[in-house]
Structure 1
Amino acid sequence: MPKMKTKRAAAKRFKITGTGKVMRMRHARNHNRLKKAPRVRRSFDKMAPVHPSDVHRVKPLLPYAW
């Protein structure tokens, strides 16, 4: 059986933590950033967990990350 391929677009957007949680970057972090409050701008630097109902969509895209 051939090796499974990792979807490179997903590999750039999602990271898997040591405990197995799928993390994503927050939206709206590049455009019109100066209009936003500093507290909001700092929150864009942190990763957010993917909702549990969406994890099953991400898992097949990253076969070797688990």
Structure 2
Amino acid sequence: MPKMKTKSGVKKRFRLTGTGKVIAGQAGKRHGMIKRTKSQIRNLRGTTILSKADQGIVKSFFPYGSAR
């Protein structure tokens, strides 16, 4: 049986931690920053860990769950 393929978009957008959680880039930073407070902008930096419900969806596209 051939190997299962990982979704290409998921490879580029998400990473798995050693404990199996899913790390994603923080949303809400692309435009409209003049409306946001300085503290909101600071809190949107970096990455975030997805919720349990979203982790299940993303992990289904990682057939082998390989953490880089």
Normalising by structure 1, we get a TM-score of 0.76
Question: Are 1:33 and 1:41, in contact at CA under 8 Å, matched by a contact in 2?
Answer: yes
Question: Are 1:6 and 1:62, in contact at CA under 8 Å, matched by a contact in 2?
Answer: yes
Counterpart in the other structure of 1:28: 28
Counterpart in the other structure of 1:15: 15
More helix by share: 2
Q: 1:10-52, CA deviations, whole angstroms, 9 ceiling, x for partnerless residues?
A: 1222111122111222221111224322221122223222111
Unmatched segments (≥5 aa) in structure 1: none
Unmatched segments (≥5 aa) in structure 2: none
Deviation at 1:57, TM superposition (A): 1.3
Q: What percentage of aligned pairs have identical amino acids?
A: 36
Q: Counterparts of 1:28-47 in structure 2 under 5 Å?
A: 28-47=28-47
Query: How far apart are the structure 2 equivalents of 1:36 and 1:54?
Result: 25
Question: Are 1:25 and 1:44, in contact at CA under 8 Å, matched by a contact in 2?
Answer: no
Q: Between Structure 1 and Structure 2, how many residues are aligned? A: 66
